Structure 1
Amino acid sequence: MTVRVLVADDQELVRAGFRMIIEAREDLEVVAEAGDGEEAVRLARRFRPDVVLMDVRMPGVDGIAATRCLVGGEDAPRVIILTTFDVDEPLYAALRAGASGFLLKDVRPADLVDAIRVVARGEALLAPRVTRRLLDRFARSLPERPVRSAALAELTEREAEVFGLVARAASNAEIAAQLVVTEATVKTHVSAVLRKLGVRDRVQAVVLAYDLGLVQPRSCD
């Protein structure tokens, strides 16, 4: 199955470089390019890509606003934020808007390709601990969004336990060891948690845990 990709960046050379890397792989295809967020949203609705590579800073509608528009609809694409910064406030805002992770623009070609495949499978691009550090840094300073605490009532006792561990950056292997179950069982529980909470991946689950107050930001020195 071919993964359909849309590349959104205001620099034509960047778009051309990503296109060349992506289309060198048989299982990947660039279906459209956009020079700003507004065009990215329009082309995504037209071409229905599986994954959008989204520059965080673009003229007019930026990558964060565009991400928010894209992930809110049915059959929404996965969004990978492109940035020149390792940790930055816009990245946190993008994660809260629904992005599945981020990449630095100087990413190695092989890592770019792997990232697209990972996100297309429905997995989160960021390692949980990286997400946790990012959230810890900015959770106190950015506006809150409406909390969906009622969703917790849908979880079974075991699913709630798994959610708590995911929110604390535990890997599937760590969760399996703590609960004395197999990793396959953990994956089943995690999938159920994401579905019931209405979040797309583990990144969004961690963000929701912060919103619900299940995880408190650590102090930053």
Structure 2
Amino acid sequence: MNTKKEVISVLLVDDEPHFRKGIRTLLNFYTTSSSLGLNVIGEAASVEQAVKLTAEQHPTLILLDLELPPDDGIMALQRLGELSYNGKVLILSAHQQDEWIFRAMQAGACGYVFKDQLATQLCEAITTVINNQVYLPPDVATAFFRLFHYYTGHSLNSSHSSIHLTEREQEVLNWLVQGASNEQIAGNLYITVATVKAHLTAIFDKLSVTSRTQAIVKALKLGLVCP
């Protein structure tokens, strides 16, 4: 029996027409090959256009570049906040510096994807933010939360007595937080990739999470690892 897809309205915001065309192609592919139903309802090349189209079209999801004339994507996020926009904003950016990621998330973004990783991460990122979760690439999650706790003055070392990891699970988690892949973790610990996956499954279960990013975030919040 065919299940009708929920259609997610999308606004593309980037000042490069060729890039927007490429994103449209990716979104069309996701619509035909996955459970995502994505409908691009508009495109914007500036902050003003983005704000105007958002007010008119009320998209469920905005895919937003951080380099927009005449200001930048951070200004767009602030303007969207003034509109009381209640949809989701996912940043697609070439900026990989920790400070840019922190500023974007602080300004109201729900997720952040590097442009050179769109082919492998965009579908997961969209699914994550649409399900009311935060998406950050695993290799930047640690840096982001280090900045978050630095600027807010929060301690990373809260109580975690209810979480009991084995010594090997702790080692795997430590490498995970550093952004290591399964293959890198296996090499560092002299175990097989299959064993790494088994340990990650156990770690995810104990932390009640379903992804690497969620595991990193929760481990940092609970003080299970040091950033």
2:112 to 77, 102, 107: 102
| 2:89 corresponds to 1:79 | yes
Q: How many residues align?
A: 169
- Cα RMSD of the aligned pairs, angstroms, is 3.8
Match of 2:185 in 1: none
Contact 1:70 1:77 in 2 (8 A): no
By how many angstroms is 1:175 displaced?
Answer: 8.4
Tell me, in whole angstroms, the C-alpha distance in 2 between the residues paired with 1:122 and 1:2.
Answer: 16
The answer on whether the counterparts of 1:56 and 1:91 sit within 8 Å (CA) in structure 2 is no
Identity %: 28
**Match in the other structure for 1:114:** 124
1:37-52 equivalent positions in 2, closer than 5 A: 37-52=47-62
Report the equivalent of 2:7.
2
Compared CA separation, residues 176 and 79, structure 1 to 2 (3 A): same
- Which residue pairs with 1:13 in the alignment? 18
TM score, norm. by length of structure 1: 0.60
Task: Tell me how far 1:97 sits from its aligned partner.
Answer: 0.4
| Segment drifting more, 59-68 vs 29-38 | 59-68
Distance (whole Å) between structure 2 residues aligned to residue 79 and residue 45 of structure 1: 14
> 3-state SS of the aligned residue for 2:100?
helix
The equivalent of 1:156 in structure 2 is none
* Post-superposition offset of 1:161: 6.8
- Alpha-carbon distance in structure 2 between the residues aligned to 1:139 and 1:37: 30
User: Which runs of 5 or more structure 1 residues have no equivalent in the other structure?
Assistant: 148-159, 188-201
Q: CA deviation at 1:119?
A: 1.2
The separation in 2 between residues aligned to 1:99 and 1:108, in whole angstroms, is 17
Q: Give 1:134's aligned residue.
A: 144
Structure 2-normalised TM-score?
Answer: 0.59
Partner of 1:191: none
In the alignment, structure 2 segments of 5+ residues that lack a partner are 1-5, 164-175, 178-199
- The alpha-carbon distance between structure 1 residues 109 and 130, as it changes in their structure 2 partners (threshold 3 A), is closer
The corresponding residue for 2:206 is 177
SS of the residue 1:125 aligns to = coil
